[in-house]
Amino acid sequence: MKIPSLLLVAGAGAMTVAGLCWAAGPTPSDASPIYGVRIPAGYRDWTLVAPAQEAAPLDELRAVVGNRKALKAYRIGARAFPDGTVLVKLAWKHTPSPDFPPASIPGAATTVQVMIKDSRRYAATGGWGFGRFVDGRPVDQAQHETCFACHAARVKDRDYVFTRYAP
């Protein structure tokens, strides 16, 4: 089948538009803007680092899990995490338990947030790449621009990682 040359031109144009969208904001990719971080396969089976609660307005329960490199570094008390470390924070709305009044439990899932250590690729951001996902899709570039600034301002001395291991 012969493809009309007009269609080829239109196709090239669409690719360019998609590229611009990727750089400018929400992206059709499954990778985060700026960092190109994806949700890692199998993370839901990883080992718990620690749970947390975030007060209003977010009002969430959270749990950070890590891959083997992450857990090993936590457990030996490493000063920095090695390349290949991946941390994933799961978050849900903070919801009263219908079964036991003093308890609150996870409601709807809100975000999945990922940190990946690659000291070469992410040399400009402390060695970390960041990804923030809602319903499996990365949020926009503006939100990703806030990740490193906050980590650098608050926990630079812990290799930019907020979460401590809960024994």
Establish whether the linkage from the previous residue to 102 is cis, with ω within 30° of 0.
no
Token pair 């409601």 is at which residue? 107
Enumerate residues 35-74 that contact a second copy by CB under 8 A.
44-48, 50-55, 58, 61-63, 65, 71
Q: Which is nearer to a second copy, 16 or 97 (CB)?
A: 97
152 touching a second copy, by CB under 8 A: no
Choice from 11, 15, 21, 97 touching a second copy (CB under 8 A): 97
CB of 47 to a second copy, least distance (A): 5
Stretch that binds a second copy, among 11-19, 89-97, 122-130, 137-145 (CB under 8 A): 89-97
Residues with Cβ within 8 Å of 131's Cβ and at least 6 positions away in sequence, in order, are 31, 32, 35, 37, 38, 39, 113, 114, 116, 138, 144
Q: Which is nearer to a second copy, 27 or 70 (CB)?
A: 70
Alpha carbon distance 56, 116 (integer Å): 28
105 touching a second copy, by CB under 8 A: yes
Alpha carbon distance 21, 138 (integer Å): 13
Alpha carbon distance 118, 108 (integer Å): 32
15 touching a second copy, by CB under 8 A: no
Q: Which is nearer to a second copy, 29 or 95 (CB)?
A: 95
Identity of the amino acid at 153: A
CA 25 to chain centre: 16
Token pair 């951001």 is at which residue? 125
* Phi and psi at residue 153, to the nearest 5°: -70, -30
Q: Which is nearer to a second copy, 25 or 51 (CB)?
A: 51
167 touching a second copy, by CB under 8 A: yes
Binding residues for a second copy (CB under 8 A): 44-48, 50-55, 58, 61-63, 65, 71, 90, 92, 94, 97, 99-100, 102-106, 109, 154-155, 162-164, 166-167
